[in-house]
Chain A
Amino acid sequence: GDSVTQMEGPVTLSEEAFLTINCTYTATGYPSLFWYVQYPGEGLQLLLKATKADDKGSNKGFEATYRKETTSFHLEKGSVQVSDSAVYFCALSDINDYKLSFGAGTTVTVRA
């Protein structure tokens, strides 16, 4: 079945550092890809998404590009802030499967 693999954390960075979280996927169809973020004590919220190959999703300074040739959707931010400390989840949905499959989550801590 469809699955998502993302880099394990935790990741600890200093403020203004560059952040990359790797995500690769396995799917039989043509999935849409998502990054969700979970701040401490809260539920998940959508950060960005891409629905087809070569699409770039972006929000709050974060970006991810849907790479079909490498089956990847890596999350990047050029300059992180303390407020970016959270757990980040890569996910995919396939219209044929009617489910949202999440990766294990990557905990990111940004130090001032």
Chain B
Amino acid sequence: DAGVIQSPRHEVTEMGQEVTLRCKPISGHDYLFWYRQTMMRGLELLIYFNNNVPIDDSGMPEDRFSAKMPNASFSTLKIQPSEPRDSAVYFCASSLDWGSSYEQYFGPGTRLTVT
């Protein structure tokens, strides 16, 4: 299996622009997670989906952030408009099932820089 695929790997954009990050989970996994990693705040869960349905978006920082999962093999995280403080590494992860002993598989991340 190719693992979790994220694109782009690096994104540099100017403040005010729209940014779309993409994720393809591992085939057959029914949970998908979006995380943000920064030096100041560490690793934060933004939102997660189960069977393409958003379950908990309490970690989404502001209305500028939105996430969708139109089908089992694709998800997007959109920031509009972007701000310099959104600069971070964004990870997508997927898992096969829920249960307290499950494992999440992480993608390589998208490094976002907003200037």
Binding site for B on A (CB under 8 A): 30-32, 34, 41-46, 49, 51, 89, 93-95, 98-100, 102-105
Q: Is the CB of A98 within 8 A of B55?
A: yes
B91 in contact (CB, < 8 A): yes
Docked CA distance A60–B8 (Å)? 31
Q: Is the CB of B91 within 8 A of A43?
A: yes
Closest to A43 in B: B106
Binding site for A on B (CB under 8 A): 4, 33, 42-43, 45, 48, 55-56, 91, 93, 98-109
Instruction: State the Cβ distance, A94 to closest chain B Cβ, in Å.
Output: 7
Q: 9 tightest A-B contacts by CB?
A: A43-B106, A32-B100, A51-B101, A95-B100, A102-B43, A44-B106, A104-B42, A46-B103, A32-B101
Q: Is the CB of A49 within 8 A of B103?
A: yes
Residues of A within 8 A of B105 (CB): 45
Docked CA distance A89–B35 (Å)? 14
Closest to A46 in B: B103
Residues of A within 8 A of B101 (CB): 32, 49, 51
Instruction: State the Cβ distance, A73 to closest chain B Cβ, in Å.
Output: 14
Given A51-B100, A99-B56, is A43 in contact with B43 using a C-beta cutoff of 8 Å?
A: no
Residues of B within 8 A of A93 (CB): 100, 102
Closest to A31 in B: B100
Known: A43-B4, A100-B33, A105-B43. 8 other contacts (CB 8 A): A32-B101, A43-B93, A43-B109, A44-B106, A45-B105, A51-B101, A93-B102, A98-B55
Instruction: State the Cβ distance, A54 to closest chain B Cβ, in Å.
Output: 15
Q: Is the CB of A98 within 8 A of B56?
A: yes
Q: Is the CB of A44 within 8 A of B45?
A: no
Instruction: State the Cβ distance, B86 to closest chain A Cβ, in Å.
Output: 19
Docked CA distance A34–B91 (Å)? 18
Docked CA distance A98–B4 (Å)? 21
Residues of A within 8 A of B107 (CB): 43
